[in-house]
């Protein structure tokens, strides 16, 4: 049978991810990590990994378990394996945070925390890759949007590998000179492979299809989309290949990063033109909140790219790297993530609950599960707070940054409450809420009928 069903654990991933996002934002509001502490201070690394692993990576993994089968029109290889993967990743992140807390002197020294983090995170992501990889094998060769995801999955493998090298270094296990050099020099590669390759490139593939689907735009698979894929892959290959050689020989990374930057820039420009096409050529004139907010997130990506170019031209990349990474993480990736989460939770809940009775009895529309004007206010507050926080980082005003982070936390909490209301069917009229035969959804788990 072709087609696919719902992913059982995707909402569990989303719930854990949102908790980590809220925790990270609250820590920033409390003044933990950058800019109150140094960029590479253990406190900063705790916040950074709560955002990148706890929030963004779990969000992306949960979304991919649902979305890859849709892209390929094939069922997921296993609907059970995502659960052990989630447990391993969360445990690994816990061990990693414990390791950083030891470095910060907040916990007594316990041996093997970092090696446990390396093993747990490595095996957690390996299970994710295995589950998605076997799903891809069912529909090989993959279609164009799916090829973006394949490159993104290669990038997470690279990111985690670098991460394990760093964890071993922090734990004092690196006795090989080569790995020790990598530990010292390869940090930019870890960041670029993670934020650029894994999160941004996968988001490109996912957003191509989701934007087309939600706005009734034509599917793009022409030369611009293909060259977005080729140039982005080339940029990542240069970063990983040439960058690793340069880092291992303790040579400068500048040449590799400049070449990769040029290819990456061309890739971003092509993606931008595709996105403009998707919005311009849409059949649906009035678009939903998720597509409007995705556009705001895309504008933040464009702003981040322009600022990176400006900083590179003026020689301020090192000085402003914290602000730039913040803008990419919160303006672009988190903005897009929250926007799509708002739609996906409503759709998954609708299909789970009303799918079995569609056509047999009156059922609500997906849009009846949400109240967009109320959620829109939280989204605007979120983006305004992110913009203000970015400004504070550029101008070096840590106290104001903490206030902005507090507003980000409040806005995210508002969006999270909206998601719970959607899942609980609170917004649906009583008469339509649970017709006979409909399946009442649970908060953290999706019922999957066989």
Partner 1 sequence: MTDFVELDVRPILRAGGEPFGEIMGAVKSLAPGQGLRLFATFKPVPLFNVLGAQGFTHAARELTGGEWQVEFTPAAAGKTPGSGAGTDPASGARPGAVPATAASGGAWPAPMSELDNRDLDPPEPMVRTLAATEGMAKGEVLCALLCREPVFLLPELAKRGHAWRGGFDADGKTYRLLIRIGAGQGGSA
Residue 444 C-beta: closest distance to partner 1, Å: 21
Candidate list 350, 383, 401, 407; residue touching partner 1; CB under 8 A: 350
Residue 3 CB, shortest distance to partner 1, in Å, is: 3
Rounded distance between C-alpha atoms, residue 142 and residue 136, angstroms: 7
The values of phi and psi at residue 371, to 5°, are: -120, 95
**Which segments within 290-386 are labelled E, that is strand?**
none
As a whole number of angstroms, the distance between CA 263 and CA 307 comes to 17
Residues 421-450 that bind partner 1 (CB under 8 A): 449
Judged by CB under 8 A, the residue of 110, 216, 255, 399 near partner 1 is 216
Using CB under 8 A, pick the residue from 8, 49, 74, 423 that binds partner 1. 74
Torsion of CA 419, 25, 385, 278, to 10 degrees: -50
Q: Which contacts (CB < 8 Å, 24+ apart) does range 415-420 have?
A: 415/338, 415/341, 415/342, 415/375, 415/378, 415/379, 415/382, 416/18, 416/22, 418/342, 418/370, 418/371, 418/374, 418/375, 418/378, 419/14, 419/18, 419/341, 419/342, 419/345
4 touches partner 1 (CB under 8 A): yes
Determine the interface stretch with partner 1 among 91-99, 115-123, 151-159, 346-354 (rule: CB under 8 A): 346-354
User: Closest separation between CB of residue 359 and partner 1, Å?
Assistant: 3
Q: Does 342 bind partner 1 (CB under 8 A)?
A: no
Q: How far is the CB of 368 from partner 1 (least distance, A)?
A: 12
Phi and psi at residue 6, to the nearest 5°: -80, 155
Our CB check for partner 1 shows the closer of 114 and 354 to be: 354
Which of the ranges 3-11, 17-25, 83-91, 102-110 carries the binding residues for partner 1, by CB under 8 A?
3-11
CB 379 within 8 A of CB 411: yes
**Segment contacting partner 1 (CB under 8 A): 33-41, 344-352, 393-401, 429-437?**
344-352
**Complex with partner 1: residue 132 or 333, whichever CB lies closer:** 132
Instruction: Name which position in 33, 35, 62, 69 contacts partner 1 (CB under 8 A).
Output: 69
Q: Give the residue from 6, 324, 63 showing the smallest Cα distance to 205.
A: 63
Tell whether residue 80 is a contact of partner 1 (CB under 8 A): no
Smallest gap from Cβ 396 to partner 1, in A, equals: 47
Instruction: Single out the residue of 30, 38, 73, 245 in contact with partner 1 (rule: CB under 8 A).
Output: 73
Q: Residue 316: what are its φ and ψ, rounded to 5°?
A: -110, 15
Given the rule CB under 8 A, which residues bind partner 1?
A: 1-5, 69-70, 73-75, 137-140, 213-214, 216, 219, 283-284, 347, 350-351, 355-356, 358-360, 363, 365-366, 449
């Amino acid at each position: 049978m072709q087609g696919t069903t719902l992913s059982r654990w995707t909402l569990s991933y989303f719930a854990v991810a949102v908790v980590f996002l809220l925790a990270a934002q609250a820590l920033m509001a409390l003044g933990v990590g950058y800019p109150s502490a140094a960029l590479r201070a253990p406190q900063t690394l705790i916040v950074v990994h709560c955002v990148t692993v706890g929030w963004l990576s779990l969000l992306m993994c949960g979304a991919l378990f649902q979305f890859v089968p849709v892209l390929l029109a094939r069922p997921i290889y296993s609907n059970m394996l995502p659960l052990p993967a989630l447990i391993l990743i969360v445990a690994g992140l816990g061990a990693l945070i414990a390791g950083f807390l030891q470095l910060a002197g907040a916990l007594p020294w316990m041996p093997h925390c970092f090696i446990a983090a390396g093993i747990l995170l490595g095996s957690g992501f390996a299970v994710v890759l295995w589950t998605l990889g076997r799903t891809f094998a069912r529909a090989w060769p993959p279609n164009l949007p799916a090829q973006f995801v394949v490159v993104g999955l290669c990038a997470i493998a690279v990111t985690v590998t670098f991460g394990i090298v760093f964890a071993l270094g922090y734990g004092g296990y690196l006795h090989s000179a080569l790995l020790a050099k990598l530990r010292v020099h390869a940090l930019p590669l870890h960041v670029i492979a993670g934020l650029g390759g894994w999160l941004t490139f996968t988001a490109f593939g996912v957003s191509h299809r989701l934007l087309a689907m939600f706005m009734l735009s034509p599917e793009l698979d022409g030369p611009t989309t293909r060259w977005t894929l080729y140039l982005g892959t080339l940029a990542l290959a240069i970063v990983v290949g040439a960058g690793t050689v340069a880092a291992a020989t303790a040579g400068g990374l500048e040449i590799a990063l400049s070449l990769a930057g040029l290819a990456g820039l061309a890739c971003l420009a092509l993606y931008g033109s595709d996105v403009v096409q998707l919005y311009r050529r849409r059949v649906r004139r009035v678009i939903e909140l998720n597509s409007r907010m995705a556009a705001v997130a895309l504008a933040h990506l464009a702003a981040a790219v322009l600022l990176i170019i400006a900083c590179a031209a003026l020689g301020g990349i090192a000085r402003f790297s914290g602000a730039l990474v913040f803008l990419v993480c919160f303006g672009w990736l988190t903005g897009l993530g929250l926007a799509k989460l708002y739609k996906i939770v409503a759709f998954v809940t609708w299909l789970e609950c009303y799918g079995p009775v569609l056509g047999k009895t009156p059922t609500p529309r997906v849009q009846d599960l949400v109240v967009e004007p109320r959620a829109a206010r939280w989204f605007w507050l979120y983006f305004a707070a992110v913009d203000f926080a970015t400004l504070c980082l550029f101008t070096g005003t840590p106290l104001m940054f903490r206030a902005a982070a507090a507003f980000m936390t409040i806005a995210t909490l508002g969006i999270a409450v909206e998601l719970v209301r959607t899942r609980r069917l609170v917004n649906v009229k009583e008469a339509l809420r649970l017709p006979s035969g409909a399946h009442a959804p649970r908060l953290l788990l999706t019922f999957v009928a066989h």
